[in-house]
Amino acid sequence: MPSQPPSHAAARHVVFAVAPELVLLDACGPVEAFWRAELAMRAASGTSGAEPCAYRTTLASVAGGVLPTFAGMPIVTERLDTLDPATIDTLIVPGIPIYDTADTTTALQPELVAWIAAAAPYARRVASVCTGAFYLAAAGLLDGRRAATHWRNAAQLARRFPRVEVDPEPIFIRDERDGRVVWTSAGVTAGIDLALALIEEDCGHAVAMQAARRLVVFMKRPGGQSQFSEALAAQASAGAEFDALHGWMAANLHGELSVERLAEEARMSPRTFARRYVDAVGRTPARTVAAMRVEAAAHALVQSRRPLKRIAADCGFGTEQNLRRAFERSYGVLPLDYRARFAAS
């Protein structure tokens, strides 16, 4: 292991270490995000040449060449053993379908596990998308760390790798300890969220926001995997000014979210806060709170069997009756009808 992170060229080398049956969007979503950031950085610097100025990406596999993907679309990869680990800035491991039943347990590629374990110490940071966390765990990189993965595979990851502190809720987790930074993300499209967070860390909020806008996605999903478009829409509209506030709101939907309380959290007077918020977001704080609460309740109905009384309390509606009214206004159906239609069987 090198004693300190190696120096890198101005363009950060992002390597995607992929396995057969790759979940295609786990890789191509982040690749596209890095490319959009590269375009933004070129435009800002006036660079028009072929040489990258922010990121260069490489997809590599154990055997190299054409790799089959889970979606059926083959991709062309380089051989991992042709890469110099010292040139890698960011190592990302996308996911594959993971099965864990009485009859089948998905076997991980031992050569890929070994390469990840050997190369990771050279990288400035290591990350996984979705079930790529299984590869990081098998390589020993998640021992004693918090980690995210696709919500459907969280229990499997915890059973298979008991030394990993699996958290099924966050969109992504950044765990820094012992001088090492490891990122893990939730499933599939969460890889784009992860890439945007990495871009923001490297290049700043403005570049990450430009990449998000070009991808027609929101910049950041605050809170956990349960936070959906209303929270994101508010955040994207407001830019960086109310990022932290929206994350705090999404995590505290059960509590008091009056203008006065929000203003206190934003460290503004209520009058100033209300005016600046409407100017930035285009709607009142109360409307944002109401929309976040309805979407959080919708997610809870689909992803859990919690009774309405509990969901109403957790999401800040107070009573079941208030929850029903809000749901009918937003979706035109009662909460239990929504659950019956959209919940997994």
**For residue 20, pLDDT beyond 50:** yes
Q: In the structure encoding, which two tokens stand for residue 143, read together?
A: 């021992």
209 occurs within a structural domain: no
Mean pLDDT computed over 322-326: 93
Look at residue 3 and tell me if it is in a domain: no
Higher per-residue pLDDT: 182 or 224: 182
How many domains would you assign to the chain?
Answer: 2
Q: Which of 139, 219, 225 is nearest to 182 (CA)?
A: 139
- Has residue 223 got a pLDDT over 90? no
Q: What's the whole-number average pLDDT of the chain?
A: 87
Sequence-distant (6+) residues with CB within 8 A of 157 are: 131, 133, 134, 137, 147, 149, 164, 166
Tell me the per-residue pLDDT of 110-148, one tens digit each, with 9 for 90 and over.
999 999 999 999 999 999 999 999 999 999 999 999 999
Q: Which of residues 281 and 222 earns the better pLDDT score?
A: 281
Residues found in the chain: 345
Distance between CA 203 and CA 332 in Å, rounded?
Answer: 43
| Per-residue model confidence (pLDDT) at position 4 | 40
pLDDT in tens, 63-81: 999 999 999 999 999 999 9
Q: Which domain range does residue 56 map to?
A: 12-199
Residue 74 shares a structural domain with residue 160: yes
Residue 229 has pLDDT above 70, yes or no: no
CA distance 141 to 4: 17
Asked whether residue 232 is domain-assigned, the answer is: yes
Q: According to the model, what pLDDT value does residue 49 have?
A: 67
| Given the residues 28, 130, 203, 315, the one annotated as active site | 130
Q: What is the DSSP letter of 123?
A: S
Pair 193, 280 in one domain: no
pLDDT at 337: 83
**257 and 119 inside one domain:** no
Within its chain, how far is the Cα of 292 from the centroid?
19
- The least confident of 38-42, 251-255, 280-284 is 280-284
Residues 151 and 258 in one domain: no
pLDDT higher than threshold 90 for residue 152: no
Ramachandran class of 144: left when φ > 0, alpha when ψ lies in -120 to 50, beta otherwise: left
Look at residue 32 and tell me whether its pLDDT is greater than 60: yes
Is residue 7 in some structural domain? no
Q: Active site includes 130? A: yes
Task: State the pLDDT at residue 46.
Answer: 78
Q: What angle do CA 330, 334, 336 make, to 5 degrees?
A: 130
**pLDDT at res. 159:** 93
Please report where in the chains the tokens 């101005």 appear, as a residue. 10
How far is the C-alpha of 89 from the C-alpha of 8, rounded, in Å?
A: 7
Q: Which two tokens stand for residue 259?
A: 């203008």
Instruction: Tell me the C-alpha distance between 61 and 300, whole Å.
Output: 38
Q: Which CATH number does the domain housing residue 251 bear?
A: 1.10.10.60
For residue 61, the model assigns a pLDDT of: 98
pLDDT of the residue at 121: 96
Is there a single domain that holds both residue 179 and residue 286?
no
Whether 211 is covered by a domain: the verdict is no
Q: What is the pLDDT of residue 63?
A: 97
Averaged pLDDT, 39-51: 81
The separation between the first and the last C-alpha atoms of the chain, rounded to the nearest angstrom, is 48
Q: Which of 27-31, 208-212, 215-219 shows the lowest mean pLDDT across its residues?
A: 215-219
Binned at pLDDT 50, 70 and 90, residue 104 comes out as low
Q: Is 214 helix (H, G, I), strand (E, B) or coil?
A: helix
Does one domain contain both 231 and 191? Answer: no
Q: Is the pLDDT higher at 34 or at 304? A: 34
Helix (H) or strand (E) holding 41: helix 24-45
Judge whether residue 222 has pLDDT over 80. Answer: no
Helix, strand, coil percentages for the chain (3-state, nearest 5): 50, 15, 35
For residue 332, what pLDDT band results from cuts at 50, 70 and 90? confident
Residue type, 261: R
Average pLDDT over every residue of 145-156 = 92
Which of 165, 168, 169 is closest to 182 using CA atoms?
A: 165
* Rounded distance between C-alpha atoms, residue 196 and residue 14, angstroms: 13
Residues 300-309, buried b or exposed e (16+ Cβ, 10 A)?
bbebeeeebe
* Unique residue bearing structure tokens 């009384």: 309
Closest by Cα among 105, 112, 141 to 125: 141
At residue 172's C-alpha, the angle toward residues 92 and 133, to 5°, is 45
In a shared domain, residues 62 and 160:
yes
Residue 100 in tokens: 């864990």
